[in-house]
């Protein structure tokens, strides 16, 4: 097993929560911008760091100026509606498909052991500037029916070419671990830090689940500059390496 958990701030379990939101750098950095925004404009506590041996071997300085190995950061925030929301994010993912698969399964197995039952991957889908939509793609039929009954815009025909990458696996294999996993998507023109699409995505989640996590306007402008460097400029090259379908949705 290549997953190691480093508990932070004296935590030793995840605890009660409403929902877990997950994102990695991707198209328009929509999900990553959203989670960075959530963590920056609410009272936030780092719960744990998830270290996996499949992540690229790049050690970086953390916020304390300490050299830290590659990892995913699990944090919790209390929203303006009083709900505890968990966020899970990182700056990289395994480059090899089989390593992405093993990491996805190990992360979900651990999340199941911690009592996580609802997980939404936040992502952007490249489209024309005139299309400004947000929707959810479920990975379980009964969960999809429940979402539709709540008034969630659930799509059954997108993304047409499927999705690849660690985030796509996290969104799709949750039912194997008794987790209602789904992907919440906002269309984007694909710019490096589309804070407007991120805000649209968070506003939709607020409307559907009453989470209270939408970003103030001043946070949007700061995040656009901060996260521009996270754009995976070689995303199309990674897609061609990972799949034979050239128009597959890289998540």
196-205 pLDDT tens trace:
899 999 999 9
The pLDDT assigned to 199 comes to 92
Q: Where are the domains of the chain?
A: 3-250
- Percent of the chain exceeding pLDDT 70 equals 85
Q: Has residue 224 got a pLDDT over 80?
A: no
Q: Has residue 240 got a pLDDT over 80?
A: no
The pLDDT assigned to 232 comes to 46
Banded pLDDT at 174 (limits 50, 70, 90): very high
User: What CA–CA distance (Å, rounded) separates 180 from 173?
Assistant: 9
Q: Does 90 or 161 have the greater pLDDT score?
A: 90
Across 107-125, average pLDDT: 97
User: Any idea what DSSP says for residue 195?
Assistant: H
The pLDDT assigned to 226 comes to 54
Quick check: helix, strand or coil at residue 14? coil
Across 31-40, average pLDDT: 92
Residues pairing with 236 in the sheet:
none
Mean pLDDT of the chain: 87
Instruction: Name the nearest CA neighbour of 201 among 180, 183, 176, 181.
Output: 183
Quick check: helix, strand or coil at residue 217? helix
Domain 3-250 has CATH 3.40.50.10900: yes
Instruction: Name the nearest CA neighbour of 38 among 229, 251, 212, 230.
Output: 212
Q: Has residue 231 got a pLDDT over 50?
A: no
User: What CA–CA distance (Å, rounded) separates 195 from 239?
Assistant: 24
Q: Has residue 225 got a pLDDT over 60?
A: no
- Is 44 in contact with 75 (CB distance < 8 Å)? yes
Banded pLDDT at 186 (limits 50, 70, 90): very high
The pLDDT assigned to 239 comes to 39
Banded pLDDT at 92 (limits 50, 70, 90): very high
The pLDDT assigned to 222 comes to 61
- Is 172 in contact with 180 (CB distance < 8 Å)? no
Across 121-129, average pLDDT: 90
Q: Has residue 54 got a pLDDT over 50?
A: yes
The pLDDT assigned to 185 comes to 96
Q: Which residues have a Cβ under 8 Å from the Cβ of 59 and sit 6 or more positions away? A: 67, 68, 69, 70
User: What CA–CA distance (Å, rounded) separates 69 from 57?
Assistant: 7
- Is 25 in contact with 223 (CB distance < 8 Å)? no
The pLDDT assigned to 168 comes to 95
Dihedrals φ, ψ of 215, to 5°? -90, 140
């Amino acid at each position: 097993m290549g997953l190691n958990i480093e508990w932070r701030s004296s935590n030793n379990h995840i605890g009660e929560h409403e929902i877990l939101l997950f994102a990695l750098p991707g198209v328009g950095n929509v999900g990553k911008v959203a989670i960075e925004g959530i963590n920056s404009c609410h009272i936030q506590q780092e719960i744990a760091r998830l270290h996996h041996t499949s992540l690229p071997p790049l050690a970086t300085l953390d916020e304390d100026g300490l050299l830290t190995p590659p990892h995913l950061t699990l944090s919790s925030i209390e929203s303006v509606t009083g709900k505890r929301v968990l966020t899970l994010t990182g700056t990289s993912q395994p480059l090899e498909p089989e390593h992405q698969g093993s990491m996805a399964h190990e992360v979900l197995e651990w999340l199941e052991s911690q009592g996580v039952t609802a997980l939404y991957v936040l992502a952007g889908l490249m489209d024309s500037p005139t299309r400004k939509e947000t929707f959810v793609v479920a990975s379980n039929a009964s969960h999809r029916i429940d979402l539709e009954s709540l008034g969630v815009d659930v799509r059954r025909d997108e993304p047409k070419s499927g999705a690849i990458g660690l985030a796509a696996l996290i969104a799709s294999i949750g039912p194997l671990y008794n987790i209602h996993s789904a992907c919440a998507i906002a269309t984007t023109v694909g710019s490096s830090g589309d804070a407007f699409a991120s805000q649209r995505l968070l506003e939709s989640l607020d409307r559907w689940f009453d989470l209270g996590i939408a970003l103030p306007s001043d946070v949007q402008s700061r995040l656009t500059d901060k996260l521009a460097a996270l754009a995976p400029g070689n995303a199309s090259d990674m897609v061609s390496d990972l799949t034979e379908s050239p128009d597959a949705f890289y998540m």
